Chain A
């Protein structure tokens, strides 16, 4: 892995739309191997859409997406996942109707036989003992934070090349957010590159090696985390001014 300086994830002039509603306009940025990119911006800026385009849930209408040097635009999501990109979507990222253990098995069984699955399960339970306690319960009965930990457990045991984590802290108590971010740090230590979509700017920037700030479907800032704070404030300011103008006219 060392010595290869090709980015692990690269978006080049990507546009995307939901039916007739366009959401992204030529978004470009790249994620280096093992790096952490914070993806910031106000509501509706297109953060989740960027995440979805990267994982293939929403097809890019133009531009190219490269995972590990391979152009994946137009590929179905399941193939992109096999190329080594994992995406934990916003809100619920686990199967409600399956048990905790079934959720884990579903994730592990693609990679190995029965023996390996049970080894992986052991590993996951070791890192998150709480999951072992509740392994027979339906995942839908877990709390929001526990569900995020379940998502992270899948990723930790079989680390992907790059993890796109969409709003992991959304709706969680501060203490639980700490746990989730501890999990993210663990994932990073495994050598996985991270794209962290976040509303809580400080949390994300503390972990990040670079930052992207989105504004209405375009990239307003792409650079080191130190400059991101100001960029975010600028974007928010511009938006507020735009609103006031719209209201007064």
Chain B
């Protein structure tokens, strides 16, 4: 008993940290309708600014606290509402998740650029002194200020928020605004202001959590930060994103159980090294599979959504024949020029960069197919790429199999994993599916990829030249370029064909309306598994190509953050079309390479740029490239129309 307490009690502050975030997630979902995966990033901002003020500017703690928590926290929440979430129609689950993701990807990268690197420090505990041992549980389990502060913070926050949400006028209006802001306006309530208030409250809570959690042992950084978010997401999921007390209790349990198990398990065992880190993810997967409430998320739709104007038609549909011919000619000319350049004058550095871009493009095509065509959001695409890369590496290592052949085998393996993932999550859609894939990605990150048998431990697998048939490493041999180009052309053509063919129509029908698609006889489960399997294969092929170029396949190479970045980048450029994926791939590496010439401090900006792009997604879900394409097409059509009308006059310049 004494030993149990000794192991369990240190878990309490962790559990409380998870609880504060879990409650925050439920709060944001209940009051704004957004499952804000960026909530952790919001907390990070406040913690970061607090540290910056205290460390760099020697502000008194209370002043830094007021600035970071009372001003920056709600201010950030208001800004998120004003500039992002307000523009997203409440029915567009994908847009909401992607926007949250871009915050998660972008904000932590942006802060060091603006403020320089910081060591996070926390506010001194408000009531209790962290170092004082206040009393002992049992005979000799010390309870110090950290424990008491964590528990106090969690309980107070929970009580205040539950009261706010369930008993006040504002809480009722917030919940109503989530379902239908317009219906709420008809009651004479300014729904925008209610939603803005909700964001401000959530921002305040996030700031509070960020600053107050830092003094406990739980730092809001790197790996801890992931575990923190996943444990919080798992707890929120078990509470079906509905009940804050349930979320809090589950979160504390996760913390306590992890630490207790950590105490009892021998450090060398499999259970300690793999199962324990995976515990929160397993809880999340279990919740997604077995909590019935999660299947009905986002089902309360706005009855007045028909007030919004319908979306504009896609570009291809409105392009005239003449413009179409012009576009095609220019495209092939550019393609030819690009290939010739690569084979002749392109400097090796840039050839390498562009090759990498093409390999990324192949991975991004998997997003095009799955998210753009089938409308299924997956946050595990980098993981699938990694599965193929490691499979190919291990096959080459143990069986001496050619890496290209191994890559193909790996693609099949990735395809199977994706199919199994789809099968496991057949009953989930939208947010639930996104979380399921995220959990899978994290599971691979934490428990599977680091294993000796998979990646060869932390060093990863180093590719040896004898594994490759052609001299793919030779700097000017162009062999790698030709291989990647061939694969990209095949994959792009394949995806385009799938999109136009029967399968593509089925998938598009499923994206439009699952109910409608089922009504015309589309076998939804099968189509979904098919979409995932195809997409997994594409991601796998791309992953193997990337691995060839990187020459070392390290376990951290294909982590969940990369998956998030993938989705964010592709939706930025355009998720619906093959061109969108290729532009995303090339764009990513070109921007990254250009950043090499920028000052050291700005290095992190690459993802910020794409995150900013994804914020444009809120306003234009078709993607930046698609948007510009439509504008240019319309312009071209106008010019042509004018020329047809007045063939005798020379080209008209300027406006009438």
- The residue in B176, B179, B186, B187 that gathers the most chain A C-beta atoms within 10 A of its C-beta is B186
| Cβ-Cβ contact count across A and B, 8 Å cutoff | 84
> Which of B167-175, B247-255, B321-329 is the contact stretch?
B167-175
B185 with A98: CB separation less than 8 A: no
Interface readout for A76-111 with B: 1 if CB under 8 Å, 0 if not?
Answer: 111101100011010111111110001001110110
Residues of B within 8 A of A47 (CB): none
**Considering the chains assembled together, what is the distance between the CA atoms of A89 and B303 in angstroms?**
8
B179 with A97: CB separation less than 8 A: yes
Residues of A within 8 A of B191 (CB): 78
Known: A95-B179, A106-B173. A81 touches B307 (CB 8 A): no
Residues of A within 8 A of B178 (CB): 97
Known: A89-B303, A96-B300. A18 touches B310 (CB 8 A): yes
A81 with B185: CB separation less than 8 A: yes
**Considering the chains assembled together, what is the distance between the CA atoms of A96 and B184 in angstroms?**
12
Known: A95-B180, A98-B179. A21 touches B309 (CB 8 A): yes
B307 with A52: CB separation less than 8 A: yes
**Considering the chains assembled together, what is the distance between the CA atoms of A93 and B312 in angstroms?**
28
Q: How large is the interface on B (under 10, 10 to 19, 20 to 34, 35 or more residues)?
A: 20 to 34
Known: A58-B307, A92-B303. A78 touches B185 (CB 8 A): yes
Q: Which A-chain residue is minimally distant from B168 (CB atoms)?
A: A109
Return A113 CB to nearest CB of chain B, in Å: 10
Q: Which A-chain residue is minimally distant from B301 (CB atoms)?
A: A96
Question: B residues 155-207 with Cβ under 8 Å of A?
Answer: 169, 172-173, 175-176, 178-180, 182-192
Instruction: Verify if A174 is at the interface (C-beta below 8 Å from B).
Output: no
Known: A77-B186, A81-B188. A109 touches B169 (CB 8 A): yes
Residues of B within 8 A of A177 (CB): none
**Considering the chains assembled together, what is the distance between the CA atoms of A89 and B305 in angstroms?**
11
B188 with A110: CB separation less than 8 A: yes
**Considering the chains assembled together, what is the distance between the CA atoms of A77 and B304 in angstroms?**
13
Residues of A within 8 A of B187 (CB): 78, 81, 106-107, 110
Q: Which B-chain residue is minimally distant from A20 (CB atoms)?
A: B309
Return A9 CB to nearest CB of chain B, in Å: 15
A77 with B182: CB separation less than 8 A: yes
Return B577 CB to nearest CB of chain A, in Å: 22
A82 with B309: CB separation less than 8 A: no
A106 with B176: CB separation less than 8 A: yes
B310 with A105: CB separation less than 8 A: no
Return B494 CB to nearest CB of chain A, in Å: 35
State which of B173, B300, B304 has its C-beta within 8 Å of the C-beta of A89: B304
Known: A57-B304, A105-B172. A19 touches B310 (CB 8 A): yes
Q: Which B-chain residue is minimally distant from A58 (CB atoms)?
A: B307
Instruction: Verify if A55 is at the interface (C-beta below 8 Å from B).
Output: yes
Q: Which B-chain residue is minimally distant from A49 (CB atoms)?
A: B307
Q: List 13 A-B contacts (CB under 8 A).
A: A21-B309, A56-B185, A77-B186, A78-B185, A81-B188, A89-B304, A94-B183, A95-B183, A97-B179, A102-B175, A105-B172, A106-B176, A110-B189
A residues near B (Cβ < 8 Å) are: 17-21, 52, 55-58, 76-79, 81-82, 86-87, 89, 91-98, 102, 105-107, 109-110, 140
